[in-house]
Structure 1
Amino acid sequence: MYKLLFACIFLSVTGVTFGQTKKSSSFIDEEIRIPVPKSELYVRMRGNPNKPLIINLHGGPGGYSGIDIKLMGPGLESHYLMAWLDQRGCGKSPVSSDSTLLNVSQYIEDLNIVVDTLISRYHKTKINLIGTSWGGMYGFLYVLNHQKKVGAYACVDGKANSQYQNSSLIEHELRLIEKKLGQNPSQKERETLLAMQEDLQRIKSSNFEKFYLDVNRIKHEYPPKLGFNAYFADTSKIISTKSILADSALLTLMKYSPKEYLAIGPKAERVNRAFRNNPDYNNMNIEPELRKVKIPVSVIQGEKDYVVGIKHAHLIYDALTDLSPEKKELHIIPNTGHVPAIENPVILNEILNSFFGKHAVD
């Protein structure tokens, strides 16, 4: 099963149009490991240490940060000190020997240790955050618990309401099934559609208690049968794990050997299974809590992101009721799915640099 997760979490792209990060005497590239309860976390520090510090929170749960250095690093590292963090059990952080620590509250504690360590090490007053996908919710959870330590936050295709996320994708698929059933399909296709319809209704009424296998069905197995991709508007941007492994320059940039890179797939499965088989995580809804957020926030989403639901960014933006229009932004990137860093990196770079240029705190 980890191969399925690997396909969605670990993606690369050819032809990224960011300029190369300009190296200077003020550019650093350091690997550090930060102790946390019963483990340690890997952080790659790249950029200008004299500029505001931004911690990147990758997606998943179970993703990794290495590919973000390729996709977002060139547009940010000249202007900021970037901390590319691998979350507990992910990427170049060690396998989590205790799966009971793969949970939201432990991840918040972990991130707070990272924040305090980096503030002290690099002599900052606060940190700033970018969170993508699951990292988008993770970032908001941290802000809600430790708001005084954060200067500004950019949420990229993140979520705040898991119930909306899950139901939105299922409802989209059920609508597509109804449409296809009304187009006089063959008997075999009709049976397939009716079986999917029945299974989606089961999942919808399950309360998402044991969701690990089901979430792979609704995100990966059923969409191609229904004529869409939940993650990408332009599926030509997806390249295989094999292609990543053949890209020696990318592996060198990420500091992975082929063997190390292949090892992150099983690690992703372990982390994702622990989270996805937890009904509290699957039904987490922090939308009402967002009224407490007082720091500047940029909410960014691809127009055709079916993974979190195409209106999720609007939901988040509207829930930030204590922020004036000067302190919150909403950006919907056209013809883009769940991964704008791959499908539309130039626009994403412009949004992030404009936002943090105005609001990042050093």
Structure 2
Amino acid sequence: MSFGFSYIGLIWLVMLLVPNFIWTRNKPDEYEKYVVNENKVLLTLERVGEFIVTPVALIFSDFNFKGFHFWSVVLLISFLCMVLYEIFWIRYFRSQKTMKDFYKGILGIPVAGATLPVIAFFLLGIYGGNILMLIGSIILGIGHIGIHRAHRKEVYGPKKKRNLIFRILLGILKTICILVLVAIFGSFTFFIAWRNINQLSHFIRYKNGINEQIYVKLNDQEEYVSIIGESTDNPVIISLHGGPGSPTGFIDYCWQDYLTDEYTIISWDERGCGRSYFRNDDIDPDNETLTFDAQLSDLDALVDYACDRFNKDQVIILGHSYGTMLGSRYVLAHPEKVSAYIGVGQCVNEKDYYGETYSYEDALKIAKERGDDTSKMEEAYAKFSSDMSVVNLMNLRILVSPYHPQTVTKDVSTLAALSSPIAGVDDVRWYMIQIEASMGGDRYGKLVEKPLGSYMMNFNVLDTQEVYQVPVLFLSGSCDWICPVGLVEEYADSITAPVVEVRLIDGCGHSPQGQLPEEFSNEIKDFLNMFK
């Protein structure tokens, strides 16, 4: 929730209130006699709902137009409800202004004068992700619609009874529709409430520190970063996501919140993906500027930004999966700017997806020892070897993964995404591009895999005998077969550094930070505390 003036809320309120002011001089002649019969509980709920909805519509900028995207449909439907509401009033003012005129439905919507604005403001609450508006609209709806349904029943009298079978079928249909709507909108309300609670929690927790989501000029582009921490005096960790092109900044609070008492953490949507892509898609829609070296240069600019802003000489680099390629290359090139390196799911040998081959060969061995039919797995590997597409990769992993089970099966990432205090439209838009790729779409491949694929497919540091000038922690799930633990341990044995440790989080896979976030963060704290 973001405080600020909402011009959309003002427009909706004007559309609501102006007809009502006109109506006060054009009431049906018999209206007052129905008022005395109004249910006092419903009347109280109506007043409480009005008390909540009116100021909330004005003081939260979440409701303002955010550009055209899929959520715009919700705002459009809300607006159409208000337009129908105006049509309802125009029709009434041009009628004989009787009670029956006042309670005529419109497009099959009963008591439209009460129902339409409630729906409109409820949808506005969904669009803005604001639980106060949702709660206010629900309370208003119960009271306002309840009162006018009672009036309408008095005006028109009881409905004529229809055939029993017809009534049963109609009742079943209505029940199903109500349950579906309650499930859908109840889910929206639940996760919006959870998101708002997380927003409030972060606001309180970081009020004396930092909690920002901003765009920073890194070389020739403005790129997105999220920065959180309880004190800006703390050491700075720059977190590099995996993929390539799989930003997780809107999810990573689920583990970063366990570190922010001692560290300021910067999450970055790397060049060419996520919010950084959409920020620059008008000048670079095809990611023509995206290369590994460009991302490495951006990282250097980000490190300089962090050091300048927080008055630091060095930062801690933490990479996950593909982020370990960026992170490890940067640490080796700029040791003077880095105090420690943490590789989570460290990439070691990705030449022609060697890690997948390593995992496949181990799974194939286990399958043959068990006497299982391996024909489908071998066929999937052959297909992947000839066409290393995302779809073929996912199909191979589906067949290999049963032979590498994770004993830790929980993962908080999905719930963290749904209740994220900072998730935005562009996060979802980019995620849909990734989902499209898993279904055979080619946009992700053109935007990310094509420009970065050549570097990735030739990345092999296993036999390089690299020398790090900073402490190094390799932190993996013990059941990680995407960046296999065996390769990580071989790499750790081959490098030179002041301190090199390999720590495994038992039972976890490639993303232990999403499976056991507290344990993951404690391992990082324990390692870094050695050098304080």
Q: When the two structures are superposed, what TM-score results if normalisation uses the length of structure 2?
A: 0.54
Q: Which has the larger radius of gyration?
A: 2
- Tell me the secondary structure at the aligned position of residue 120 of structure 1: helix
CA positional deviation for 1:323? 1.9
1:27 alignment partner, one of 199, 204, 209: 209
- Tell me the secondary structure at the aligned position of residue 342 of structure 2: strand
CA distance in 1, matches of 2:413, 2:518: 19
Are positions 1:166 and 2:348 aligned together?
no
Q: Per-residue CA shift, 1:269-290, capped at 9, x if unaligned?
A: 5556655452441231123445
Quick check: 2:339–2:470 contact (8 Å CA) kept in 1?
Answer: yes
Q: Per-residue CA shift, 1:105-139, capped at 9, x if unaligned?
A: 12111111111122112211111111111112221
CA distance in 2, matches of 1:106, 1:267: 22
Cross-structure match for 1:199? 380
Comparing both structures, which one devotes a greater share of its residues to strand? 1
CA distance in 1, matches of 2:446, 2:369: 33
CA positional deviation for 1:53? 0.9
Cross-structure match for 1:99? 287
Residues 203 and 261 of structure 1: is their aligned pair in 2 closer, same or farther, counting only changes over 3 Å? Answer: closer
Are positions 1:110 and 2:291 aligned together?
no
Quick check: 1:211–1:282 contact (8 Å CA) kept in 2?
Answer: no
Report the AA paired with residue 194 of structure 1: S
- When structure 1 is superposed on structure 2, of 261-270 and 51-60 the one drifting more is 261-270
Q: Per-residue CA shift, 1:73-118, capped at 9, x if unaligned?
A: 2111111111111111333223352334333212111111111122
CA positional deviation for 1:266? 3.9
- Tell me the secondary structure at the aligned position of residue 258 of structure 2: helix
Are positions 1:298 and 2:452 aligned together?
no
Are positions 1:41 and 2:223 aligned together?
yes
Quick check: 1:160–1:285 contact (8 Å CA) kept in 2?
Answer: yes
- Tell me the secondary structure at the aligned position of residue 171 of structure 1: helix
CA distance in 1, matches of 2:300, 2:433: 22
CA distance in 1, matches of 2:326, 2:223: 16
Cross-structure match for 1:353? 525
2:508 alignment partner, one of 336, 348, 357: 336
Report the AA paired with residue 216 of structure 1: M
- When structure 1 is superposed on structure 2, of 81-90 and 209-218 the one drifting more is 209-218
1:143 alignment partner, one of 302, 309, 331: 331
CA positional deviation for 1:291? 2.0
CA distance in 2, matches of 1:39, 1:51: 28
CA positional deviation for 1:213? 3.5
- Tell me the secondary structure at the aligned position of residue 380 of structure 2: helix
Cross-structure match for 1:87? 270
- Tell me the secondary structure at the aligned position of residue 254 of structure 1: coil
Cross-structure match for 2:431? 265
2:409 alignment partner, one of 235, 244, 258: 235
Are positions 1:70 and 2:246 aligned together?
no
Q: Per-residue CA shift, 1:19-75, capped at 9, x if unaligned?
A: x87836641112221223553211111112101111011111122133443222211
Query: Which stretches in structure 2 are left out of the alignment for 5+ residues?
Result: 1-193, 195-200, 438-442
Q: Per-residue CA shift, 1:184-236, capped at 9, x if unaligned?
A: xxxxxx5xx424313314544x5xx74434322223x4246x4656xx54334
Are positions 1:152 and 2:340 aligned together?
yes
Q: How many residues align?
A: 315
CA distance in 2, matches of 1:165, 1:274: 23
CA distance in 1, matches of 2:500, 2:423: 36
1:254 alignment partner, one of 411, 417, 422: 422
2:399 alignment partner, one of 214, 219, 222: 222
CA distance in 1, matches of 2:316, 2:413: 31
Comparing both structures, which one devotes a greater share of its residues to helix? 2
CA positional deviation for 1:238? 6.5
Q: CA RMSD for the aligned pairs?
A: 2.9
Cross-structure match for 1:126? 314
Q: When the two structures are superposed, what TM-score results if normalisation uses the length of structure 1?
A: 0.76
- Relative contact order, CA 8 A, sep 6+: which one is greater? 1
Q: Per-residue CA shift, 1:124-156, capped at 9, x if unaligned?
A: 111111111111222101112222211111111
Quick check: 2:272–2:447 contact (8 Å CA) kept in 1?
Answer: no
Report the AA paired with residue 352 of structure 1: I
